[in-house]
């Protein structure tokens, strides 16, 4: 599967609006993995990761964990070429956000896993966050929204019914979590002090918390399959092109649909500013 974005050379946008940084997102359906894939994933984990993996009670959780951490290690190697997947050494920052131990790479990265799907995002930017959720995972959606969504988000949800409401809830949640994972605060931060509005067919607007500059943030939302949503948040002063692909490179099983992206200030409403790339 090859990614196909707007080629930089033929980009019809003004030079000021052309993306000058890319954010690479890789995803993999954990339910499709063979025993061979799972063994290969486990083989690249560190001893600590292997111990964490073994603590899960259910096989499916062990597989998802191994697939997620192996994906991160393999994609770091794919982009940096310098090291084997096994050799990356991680540290944790405040609130548990993993980063690389000094001297390995300047890439910002983040990883996420949910039942059946794992993903990671990497870019030469200040910070990046990624989240995946199943659209079917919506127990207590209204209660969660009342406590953790901004007033505007709650009102937007109330305008939807049935499946649309369920899907909208997951889309907003995924975007919020991607943002909090990019900041590193995770769910320790107040979730109702910022929010997202889904505008028109393909836009999204970030309503930031106090003291946050909206222009520094870029977001995109994808459907790796009809059952899942994947959101990416990037902090960067430069424009971002999102390249989202199924792992391993060249695989053809994924049917990614780019759904929405935020737009930098001053752009036309119809321009695909945070360019999603689609697998072909």
- Site for ligand COA, rule CB under 6 A: 65, 68, 95-98, 110-113, 129, 131, 177, 180-181, 184, 186-188
Judged by beta carbon, residue 190 or residue 250, the one nearer ligand COA is: 190
**Token pair of 109 as six digits:** 């990265």
Judged by beta carbon, residue 113 or residue 263, the one nearer ligand COA is: 113
How near is the Cβ of 203 to ligand COA at its closest, in Å? 24
Judged by beta carbon, residue 72 or residue 278, the one nearer ligand COA is: 72
Sheet holding 276-279, edge to edge: 3-4, 276-279, 240-246, 21-29, 117-123, 108-114
How near is the Cβ of 36 to ligand COA at its closest, in Å? 22
How near is the Cβ of 33 to ligand COA at its closest, in Å? 16
* Interatomic CA distance for residues 242 and 12, integer angstroms: 17
Q: Is the peptide bond before 248 cis (omega within 30 degrees of 0)?
A: yes
How near is the Cβ of 113 to ligand COA at its closest, in Å? 4
Which residue of this chain has its Cβ atom nearest to ligand COA in the complex? 186
Judged by beta carbon, residue 113 or residue 168, the one nearer ligand COA is: 113
Judged by beta carbon, residue 13 or residue 52, the one nearer ligand COA is: 52
How near is the Cβ of 273 to ligand COA at its closest, in Å? 25
Judged by beta carbon, residue 112 or residue 236, the one nearer ligand COA is: 112
Nearest to 220 by CA among 136, 137, 123, 146: 123
Residue 248's Cβ-count burial label (10 Å; 0-12, 13-18, 19+) is middle
How near is the Cβ of 128 to ligand COA at its closest, in Å? 9
Give the helix ranges, DSSP H, for the chain. 35-43, 47-54, 59-80, 141-148, 151-158, 162-183
* Interatomic CA distance for residues 136 and 117, integer angstroms: 13
């Amino acid at each position: 599967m090859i990614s196909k974005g707007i080629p930089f050379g033929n980009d019809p946008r003004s030079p000021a609006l052309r993306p000058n940084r890319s954010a690479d997102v890789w995803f993999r359906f954990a339910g499709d993995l063979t025993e061979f894939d799972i063994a290969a994933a486990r083989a690249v984990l560190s001893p600590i990761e292997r111990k964490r993996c073994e603590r899960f009670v259910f096989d499916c959780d062990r597989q998802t964990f191994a697939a997620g951490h192996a994906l991160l290690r393999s994609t770091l190697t794919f982009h940096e070429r310098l090291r084997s997947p096994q050799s990356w050494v991680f540290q944790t920052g405040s609130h548990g956000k993993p980063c690389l131990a000094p001297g390995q790479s300047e890439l910002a990265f983040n990883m996420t896993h949910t039942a059946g799907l794992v993903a990671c995002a990497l870019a030469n930017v200040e910070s990046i966050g990624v989240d995946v959720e199943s659209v079917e995972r919506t127990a207590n959606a209204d209660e969660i929204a009342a406590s953790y969504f901004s007033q505007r988000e709650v009102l937007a949800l109330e305008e939807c019914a049935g499946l649309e409401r369920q899907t909208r809830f997951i889309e907003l949640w995924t975007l919020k979590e991607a943002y909090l994972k990019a900041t590193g605060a995770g769910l320790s931060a107040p979730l109702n002090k910022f929010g997202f509005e889904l505008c028109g067919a393909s836009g999204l607007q970030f309503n930031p918390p106090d003291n946050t500059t909206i222009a520094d943030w870029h977001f995109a939302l994808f459907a790796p399959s009809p059952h899942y949503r994947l959101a990416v948040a990037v902090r960067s002063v430069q424009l971002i092109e999102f390249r989202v692909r199924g792992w391993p490179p060249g695989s053809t099983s994924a049917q990614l649909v780019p759904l929405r992206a935020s737009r930098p200030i001053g752009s036309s409403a119809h321009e695909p500013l945070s360019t999603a790339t689609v697998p072909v």
